[in-house]
Amino acid sequence: SDQTELLRRKLEIHVKGDSVPDPILSFSSCNLPEKLLHNIQTLGYDMPTPIQMQGIAAALTGKSLLASADTGSGKTASFLVPVVSRCATFRHGNLSKSKKPLAMVLTPTRELCIQVEEQAKLLGKGLPFKTALVIGGDAMPRQLYRIQQGVELIVGTPGRLIDLLAKHDIELDDIMTLVLDEVDCMLQKGFRDQVMQIFRALSQPQVLMYSATMSQEVEKMASSMAKDLIFVSIGQPNR
Ligand code: ADP
Ligand code: MG
């Protein structure tokens, strides 16, 4: 509508793709689980940032997404809010005893993984939403045990995840969403093949790709993972 166009222009939200949904104007307008909404409030997030307005709306459709926005613009919650919502809703409505992981976040560094997992725990508090970290360090047996006991989300670096998957039988067929955070940085670090290997081990997940910058290489990888992609960028067009 005209109003949507005005809002997007004002907030410098650029979109591309088929049937891109309208941005959400508030966290409470998109049917999130009550506890998730409460956790967002507890974090002090009164209003979604532009990348959250458009990114959350897009991810909640179930489609794959390639999004770029500056550092500090709130990209983490932009992918974690829909991930927590989708996982908790699935567990809630599913009577099966099996607790295979439902979502996976890949980031280029262990520090970033720790930060993302920390925020995921805060957003998932009180919900069926457990997390496990798969990064370098000496806590691997405990994380493996957590995964075997049942977690919703795995957060890890590509190399460590591939090590783990090679050594242990972890069932990935329930993974609904794969998030690639700082995908530009992952490509710079030479993680492309490892990321693709993990993607191919999953059964056609929704892919949410987030980057501070856009490049042909990033777009190429995104297109190879999903056909019906939504593109979102905030700020200057075609950065
Ligand atoms: P990015 O990944 O885009 O660099 P982050 O997700 O790390 O940015 O968020 C940057 C900071 O903004 C964090 O401290 C985060 O808690 C805060 N933040 C995120 N979303 C909101 C919001 N809607 N309202 C207020 N603060 C927010
Ligand atoms: Mg980030």
ipTM score: 0.99
Average pLDDT, the chain: 95
Helix/strand/coil for 153: strand
Q: How far apart are CA 175 and CA 177, in angstroms?
A: 6
Q: Global pTM?
A: 0.97
Per-residue model confidence as pLDDT tens digits over 81-115? 999 999 999 998 777 778 999 999 999 999 999 99
Distance 41 CA to ligand 1 centre (A): 13
Q: How far apart are CA 131 and CA 112, in angstroms?
A: 15
Contact residues for 55 (Cβ-Cβ < 8 A; gap 6+) = 65, 67, 75, 78, 79, 208, 210, 232
Percent of the chain with pLDDT over 70: 98
Q: Is 107 in the pocket of ligand 1 (CB under 6 A)?
A: no
Phi, psi of 156 (to 5 degrees): -160, 175
**For residue 238, pLDDT beyond 60:** no
Atom of ligand 1 nearest to the CA of 27: 23
Q: Which two tokens stand for residue 77?
A: 């919650």
Mean pLDDT for the stretch of residues 181-191? 97
Mean pLDDT for the stretch of residues 26-45? 97
Distance 78 CA to ligand 2 centre (A): 10
Residue for token pair 């929704």: 206
Q: Which of 39, 49, 181 to mutate to test the pocket of ligand 1 (most atoms within 8 A of CB)?
A: 49
Q: Is 143 in the pocket of ligand 1 (CB under 6 A)?
A: no
Which residue, judged by its Cα, is nearest atom 9 of ligand 1?
74
